[in-house]
Amino acid sequence: MKSVSIFFVLFVFFLVVLEAPAKIEAKDKFICVVEYGGDVGPTFCNPKFFPTLCRQNCRSFKGAKGGKCVKQQKHNPIKCFCDYCKDD
């Protein structure tokens, strides 16, 4: 009985050790929203043009599914975020 319990403990230990790196790697792969880069300016996010340059550049150059502009307070820059999970 003692050898069976030792075998079981070792088996569970190896399963935990082998599974741990996969979970760590997966965390970095599934980041959905990433900033395109810096102050992109108002023309990059002009709502008159659809799709916006933000969305087009995220899809073309970054391999994302979509892009979204975020306008912050008055004096803060306009930022473009590339979305890798969903296309809005």
Would you state the structure tokens that stand for residue 74, as one six-digit string? 């008055």
Q: CB-based contacts of 42: which residues, under 8 Å, 6+ apart? A: 78
CA distances from 34 to 17, 81, 83 (A): 31, 5, 7
Count other C-beta atoms under 10 Å from residue 58's C-beta: 24
pLDDT at res. 29: 54
pLDDT at res. 23: 46
Q: Where is average pLDDT lowest: 4-8, 52-56, 68-72?
A: 4-8
The predicted-structure confidence for 14-64, as pLDDT tens digits, reads as follows: 666 666 554 444 455 568 898 887 667 777 887 777 888 889 989 998 889
Q: Compute the 3-state secondary structure of the chain and give helix, strand, coil in percent, each to the nearest 5.
A: 45, 15, 40
pLDDT at res. 16: 62
CATH 3.30.30.10 is the classification of domain 31-88: yes
pLDDT at 75 over 80: no
In the chain, where the domains are located: 1-29, 31-88
Peptide bond into 77 cis (omega under 30): no
